[in-house]
């Protein structure tokens, strides 16, 4: 019975989301806190414009940073608001959201929640977008964070 209920809920959830409203991306990220960490990032973007009649997106991003002797990752839950188009095609959006970071080593681990704010620049190239995302994180991963990659 549990399996049937879970399957029905999942089908309903996926049926209400149009694939045209979802974008996926991957790229590199760099955080300056603690001497600087290079990492990889995966992100999902859901376009909210049809639902709320505003040029907004909900973003969920996971970043894994390469550190010596442990691990460091963060999950960002952001809202993006489209502002303008710069030049002929560079789209500019503002970002604000929450960040949950977790650092662990052999002997201990630590989690922290913070806020982040910044901007995202997107350049369309055919069906893809190249993005650059500078932001400041207060708490969480902390410091200045720069991400760049490709959205599908």
Tens digits of per-residue pLDDT, 68-98?
Answer: 888 899 999 999 999 999 988 999 999 999 9
pLDDT at res. 33: 81
Q: What is the pTM of this model?
A: 0.81
Spell out the CATH class of 20-151.
mainly beta
pLDDT at res. 11: 43
- What one-character-per-residue DSSP string does 121-145 give? EEEEETTEEEEEEEEEEESTT-EEE
Maximal C-alpha separation, the chain? 56
Contacts of 119 (CB under 8 A, 6+ apart): 92, 93, 94, 95, 133, 134, 135
Tens digits of per-residue pLDDT, 18-34?
Answer: 455 899 999 999 999 87
């Amino acid at each position: 019975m549990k399996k049937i209920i879970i399957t029905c809920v999942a089908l309903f959830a996926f049926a209400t989301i149009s694939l045209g409203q979802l974008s996926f991306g991957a790229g590199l990220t760099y955080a300056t806190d603690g001497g600087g960490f290079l990492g990889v990032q995966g992100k999902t973007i859901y376009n909210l414009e049809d639902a709320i009649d505003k040029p907004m997106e909900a973003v969920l991003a996971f970043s894994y940073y390469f550190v010596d002797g442990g691990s460091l990752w963060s999950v960002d839950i952001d809202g993006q608001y489209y502002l303008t188009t710069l030049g002929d095609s560079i789209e500019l959006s503002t970002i604000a959201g929450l960040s949950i970071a977790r650092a662990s080593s052999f002997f201990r681990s630590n989690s922290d929640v913070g806020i982040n704010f910044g901007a995202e620049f997107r350049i369309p190239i055919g069906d893809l977008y190249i993005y650059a995302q500078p932001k400041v994180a207060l708490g969480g991963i902390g410091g200045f964070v720069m991400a760049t990659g490709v959205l599908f």
